[in-house]
Structures are given as C-alpha cells and as structure tokens.
Amino acid sequence: MTKAPIRTKASEDWIVYDDTTYTPVDDAVSRHLDAARKAFNAKDNKKAATEMRAAAGELKLRAPRAGKEHRALVKAEKALPKADTKFAQDRQNTIKRMNASALKVSSVAAAIESSKIKTKADLERAIDKAAPRGRPDRNSPARLRNSTRSPPRSKKAR
C-alpha cells in the first residue's frame, strides 16, 4: 500500500515562490510584494501595480534610515580591527604580567624555603612585590594599609 503525499498549506504569514521557496512576511514591503504577486496571478494588473507602488513607497521611507544604519555599520566595521588589535595586545600584556608575577611568587617560595624570609613583615613585603601591579591581593597589607589611610588634608586646612 503506497502512502499519499502529505499536503501542506502555507500559512498566510509566508510568501511562496514557485511552490518551493517560502519567505516570512514580516514587514509592509513584504506584504505589498505578496499582494502584488497574488493580484498579478489573479490577472488584476491594476491592483498589482498599486501594490508595487506601495512597496516602492515603503522602500523610499526606509532609505534615510538605511543610510544612517549603513554609516553606523561601516564605522563599526572600521573600529573592529583596532579593537581586535587592542584586545590582542591587552591579552599579551596580561599574559606577560601574570608570567612575571608567577616568577616573582616562585622566587618568594624559594626565599621562604632557604630561610631568607624570616619575619611576617618580610613575607608581606615580598608578597606585595610579587602581586600583579594595579590589583593587589584583596587581603594584602598594602591594600589594607591603603584602605585605612585618612584622606590627604587640603592646603587650606594646614
């Protein structure tokens, strides 16, 4: 027994070309073009022409906005290589800083093992020197000291 092919009907929200290509109807231009095709197929040339003119009118309304959007896209495209280069450089700089910090931390570990660091203060100074610059450890003495300092007095208060 052979099965009959399943027939599908295109929804009203889709434009069908040659019974094989479907395009969603999502804006006024698409709706006017769809109406023009249907009118043309129904041999209503006057309505088809009216719908085509309406589609042209919609396109004319969009032209200024499309120009602004195009300029914005061109500007963004031009900015991308610069941003990519900066990102790559920042990444390389971060890798270099982290590797340098790892080397410093390793040297602190060696100094601890060889008993060159004798006091807690010496250890804290060594950790502060080894910490990546600009981002001290959350609980490092340098950070704690800086957070408890009083603000500098103005010249008038002196």
Domain that holds residue 28: 14-99
Quick one: average pLDDT of 14-42?
Answer: 75
Assigned token pair, 124: 């804290």
Give yes or no for residue 1 having a pLDDT over 60.
Answer: no
Does residue 6 fall inside a structural domain? no
- For 57-91, b where at least 16 C-beta lie within 10 A, e where not — what string? ebeeeeeeeeeeeeeeeeeeeeeeeeeeeeeeeee
Does residue 4 fall inside a structural domain? no
Does residue 58 fall inside a structural domain? yes
Does residue 110 fall inside a structural domain? no
> Is the CB of residue 64 less than 8 Å from the CB of residue 45?
no
Task: Report the sign of the C-alpha dihedral through residues 130, 135, 140, 144, in that order.
Answer: positive
Quick one: average pLDDT of 19-35?
Answer: 74
Give yes or no for residue 17 having a pLDDT over 80.
Answer: no
Query: In this predicted model, which residue has the larger pLDDT, 60 or 140?
Result: 60
pLDDT digits (tens, 9 = 90+) for 64-87: 887 788 888 888 888 888 888 888
Total of domains in the chain: 1
pTM, two decimals, is 0.37
**pLDDT, position 158:** 45
pLDDT digits (tens, 9 = 90+) for 95-151: 888 888 888 888 888 888 898 888 888 888 888 887 765 554 455 445 545 554 455
Does residue 152 fall inside a structural domain? no
